[in-house]
Structure 1
């Protein structure tokens, strides 16, 4: 269990945590003879991770953030909720690396043992930290019980690390004990990364994204690598990305050399093979969405954002869910909803972003795979049902009576969409819920302008010639995208190349979902 707090005070009237950190950094830097290399060991904790029940995203995020700060992550270990293993790695990593970051195992249940293992590793005692206990009492108020006291029971030599990210972080020696829930981990790492990386020397780097495969540019890369031995060049092919086939990284301590190297490499490429790509579109979702208002999307996107904002004025965040089935329309809408909802004060609380997936009896495997990826990417709390929409909507209401509104990805050009309004209750005889329709005014081309303009991932079926997805048995590739290549092989262009939006459903059967 992890708690997101709206305000996090430092320890009563003092900056003891910050003073300890500065003293620790001074000691660690001097012990390496003035070296500017800052090293980190990561310990990722959780039975659900080593059993493959939950996919770890925390180590990826931490490595990515720390690398940008010039910090060298030397080792990442994933361990179960095993007291002896956690104790062993805490002690070993603390002596081996400049800093140690842990993730997980700091909740109120019996298997949350990271604090206890840290105390054992350094022959310390456990105590209730008064400042930390006060924070949790203020947060839980009348719901605070003795069970919650475990959250504030930490090693005696540990202290609270001052931060303004809204999450209490415990520091012990050169160890930062961080939460395991990804959205809270992201807040925590942002709070500590500047302090960890302030003495590190950051490498200058650039990334180039290409629509060519790796074999096509291997010789060019080798030639550039020989000319610029000071630059570390990495080539990383991908096989399921909607935008590029290979990512090339260039890094060096000398930014001018990196610029020269990248420029030389680009001169060897044919026009059009390099693309602009945003690797992390969620990091600046709200900002980037507002930039799209300066495109042809101004009118429909303004309307969509306004409807989402009004929904949050009419209902509490936990009374709203978004209908999501992996299609292009609801994928675009999910990002709009995320960007707007992320500005809400309740965003970030556990389960704050809810999604409803009513699965048909014959889904595409690619669709199910993409939905799971979106659940992880947007950290959705998913309500999943299988069967007919009306029956499953009733079941959802029975299980989740708090849901009052559903964000829908319907457009005016969809079947039965022409008479809808932005806020429209369900029809008579249906379970009572408000249908919220932010993207009614979006056209087919508008959807693709948004998706590809923001580098948003989408279901790979759309790259194979499908333009509208229903059940697997009733949906075919759109014949309007069919062509024959130079070898005489029949192929299909990607969905975003379809110019006539009226042909969007040309590959669909008679059973829309």
Structure 2
């Protein structure tokens, strides 16, 4: 194998930023195995990635704080997956000169430049004009885009109509068409690129959908990075000496990142390890595992929701309580349609465990279904802000169709039945230890003076500690109040941290252990009054 030729083949096309300097050898030919070449590339790429990207977020609304930028986070995550290192993110105003300057600079520095926003029909949508100015070009009406605009907005659309602005692109622009993953056909609308600059829409749903289609344009087949994460329940300061030693020991082989996670329920620091050589990353992982304090590393699954269908069903053989709950849920799903089922969800630990179980069953039995689970949240008199936030996070996390109601349970259920007359069964997180739970069964009709709905209670025979074992074992996200001594949540005026969990720290400050530490299940509701 010719080393020079091998390096050129391994180097991605179009890379400008960091050319590999060819080493000088006495002889022109040198035979090296693939592992040696991979290690050589690792030493180069670990410091300066061969394939890089700069992201430019365009929009006055971002700079004014009127809109939250989620596109840069999404792009960084997805580009990382395909071996592209994002080295800069810029947020700039809707101005041709600003766009042109940033695009021109990024285009020289990075392998790819991705812009987001500013390609609509209004006066402040100036991205195409800015990109054209960056390369001393003019915009012109591309025939294909003109026809697409007329097809979408109407055949009588004049060339001076505002909507026709979407068809005006830089003179050297290229139209990239991909394959629609749902239909298998060519996408109707293209992604516009100029040289190494790719122009994406600013609306998050549109950008994410477009990137899913055109991700192949940015893939780096030559960069095979290995990646691991470690989760530490110690604070960052206490583990700094070990981290410094690890960074020094594996310098040039493994990149180690440390990220504090203030207020996280499962860990306090997240460590990331990256390397192009699997043996190196394993060695670094083992080194940290051995050198960190005993018990500091915790098992945490950041993809708990995505893996719910797999991991919950793995527990069935080990945990009879999980097996029983799953059978009740599956029985309900067989008896009723999705449109006839609803979940009563108030952000508490029990209904959170139930939500995760239902989600797992749906993923297991209906993996391709796009139907959303109906849920209803009957808000307390004075709700905790933490509960409200957690419920909204859960809606996104589990893709819930949530109805929020204020008032008494009976009255609001009547309203819910009116709003959603198809609902025949309601999942509830009631357990035997709850008020009235000792007289119920897995399936029981509401009382005669209540709206006639079948209550489905999969957790009826679960105990307090079984709920927490389930949540913690699977890394299920839950309301943060439980980490501060609350064991049962209600209205702010009648809920407080559980006295049974109170302690005084070394500084004399009164604090509370998290809810899952409580051993006397009979004291679960002593914090409610």
**Structure 1's 27 and 267: CA in aligned 2 closer, same or farther, altered over 3 A?**
closer
- Alpha-carbon separation, structure 1, partners of 2:95 and 2:199: 17
CA shift for structure 1 position 488: 5.4
Q: Does 1:209 align with 2:195?
A: no
Q: For 1:400-411, what aligned pairs fall within 5 Å after superposition?
A: 400-411=420-431
Is 2:295 aligned against 1:275? no
In structure 2, relative to structure 1, the CA distance for the partners of 1:367 and 1:165 (3 Å cut) is: same
Q: SS state of the match for residue 477, structure 1?
A: coil
**1:103–1:178 Cα contact (<8 Å) kept:** yes
Contact kept in structure 2, 1:347 and 1:353, CA below 8 Å? no
Deviations 1:330-376, CA, capped at 9 Å, x for gaps:
11122222233346377446xx3443211111222322232233233
Q: Return the alpha-carbon distance in structure 2 between the equivalents of residues 461 and 146 of structure 1.
A: 54
| CA separation of 1:43 and 1:346: change in aligned 2, threshold 3 A | farther
Is 1:431 aligned to residue 417 of structure 2? no
**CA pair 196-294 structure 1, distance change in 2 beyond 3 A:** farther
**For residue 392 of structure 1, what is the aligned residue in structure 2?**
412
Offset of residue 212 of structure 1: 0.8
Classify 1:160/1:355 alpha carbon distance in 2 versus 1 (closer, same or farther; 3 Å).
farther
* Alignment partners' CA distance in 2, 1:327 and 1:469: 6
Cα separation, partners in 2 of 1:128 and 1:425, compared to 1, 3 Å: farther
Equivalent residue number for residue 284 of structure 1: 307
Change in CA separation of 1:86 and 1:192 when aligned onto 2, cut-off 3 Å:
farther
Give TM-score, length-normalised by structure 1.
Answer: 0.74
Change (3 A) 1:307 1:28: farther
Partners of 1:187 and 1:309 in 2: how far apart? 33
Please say which structure displays the higher CA radius of gyration. 2
Partner of 1:334: 355
SS for the counterpart of 1:247 is: strand
What are the superposed Cα offsets for residues 18-58 of structure 1, whole Å, 9 maximum, x if unpaired? xxxxxxx9863599868972333446678986676775545
Work out whether residues 38 and 197 of structure 1, in 8 Å CA contact, stay in contact via their aligned partners in 2. Answer: no
Contact 1:79 1:85 in 2 (8 A): no
CA distance in 2 between counterparts of 1:190 and 1:474 reads 48
Query: Is residue 250 of structure 2 the alignment partner of residue 228 of structure 1?
Result: yes
CA 391–132 in structure 1, closer or farther in 2 if over 3 Å, else same: farther
Q: Is the 8 A contact 1:86 1:117 kept in 2?
A: no
Residue 253 of structure 1 aligns with which residue?
A: 276
Q: Relative to 1, partners in 2 of residues 1:441 and 1:119: Cα closer, same or farther, differing over 3 Å?
A: farther
What corresponds to 2:472 in structure 1?
A: 452
Matched-pair contact (CA < 8 Å) for 1:104–1:181 = no
How many Å apart are 1:180 and its aligned residue? 4.5
- C-alpha distance in 2, partners of 1:435/1:127? 60
**Of 14, 18, 22, which residue of structure 2 is paired with 1:28?**
14
Task: Between 242-251 and 332-341, report the one with greater CA deviation.
Answer: 332-341
User: TM-score, with normalisation over the residues of structure 2?
Assistant: 0.72
CA deviation after TM superposition for structure 1 residue 89, in Å: 9.6
Distance 1:369 1:192, change over 3 A: same
| Counterpart among 261, 264, 268 of residue 238 in structure 1 | 261
Note if 1:196 corresponds to 2:218: yes
Gaps of 5+ in 1: 1-24, 138-143
- Quick check: 1:293 aligned with 2:311? no
Following superposition, the deviation at residue 217 of structure 1 comes to: 1.2
Secondary structure in 2 matching 1:161: coil
Contact 2:485/2:497, CA 8 A, preserved across alignment: yes
Structure 1 residues 26 and 499, CA gap change in structure 2 (3 angstroms): closer
Q: How does 1:30-49 map to 2 (within 5 A)?
A: 37-42=50-55
Q: Please tell me the root mean square deviation across aligned C-alpha atoms, in Å.
A: 4.4
CA distance 1:27–1:102, change in 2 (3 Å): same
CA shift, 1:161, in A, is 1.1
Q: For the structure 1 residues 498 and 428, does the alpha-carbon distance in structure 2 shift closer, same or farther, using more than 3 Å as the test?
A: same
Q: Within 2, Cα distance between the matches of 1:423 and 1:394?
A: 20
| 1:8-407 matched pairs, under 5 angstroms | 28=14, 37-42=50-55, 56-77=69-90, 97-99=110-112, 123=139, 125=141, 158-164=175-181, 170-173=190-193, 175=198, 177=200, 180=203, 189=211, 192-193=214-215, 196-230=218-252, 231-296=254-319, 299-342=320-363, 344=366, 347-348=369-370, 352-407=372-427
**Which residues of structure 2 form unaligned runs of 5+?**
1-10, 21-44, 133-138, 158-162
Partners of 1:186 and 1:304 in 2: how far apart?
Answer: 36
How far apart are residue 499 of structure 1 and its match? Answer: 2.5
Larger relative contact order (Cα-Cα within 8 Å, sequence gap ≥ 6): 1
Distance 1:205 1:27, change over 3 A: closer
CA–CA separation in structure 1 for the residues paired with 2:17 and 2:506: 65
1:398 CA drift (Å): 3.8
Deviates more, 1:321-330 or 1:51-60: 51-60
Q: Quote how far apart the aligned CAs of 1:294 are.
A: 3.7
The number of equivalent residue pairs is: 465
CA–CA separation in structure 2 for the residues paired with 1:128 and 1:403 = 48
Q: Is the 8 A contact 1:44 1:79 kept in 2?
A: yes
Structure 1 residues 476 and 232: alpha-carbon distance in aligned structure 2, compared to 1, 3 A threshold: same
What's 2:434 paired with? Answer: 414
Where 1:158 maps in the other structure, the secondary structure is: strand
Q: CA deviation at 1:71?
A: 1.1
TM superposition shift of 1:155: 8.1
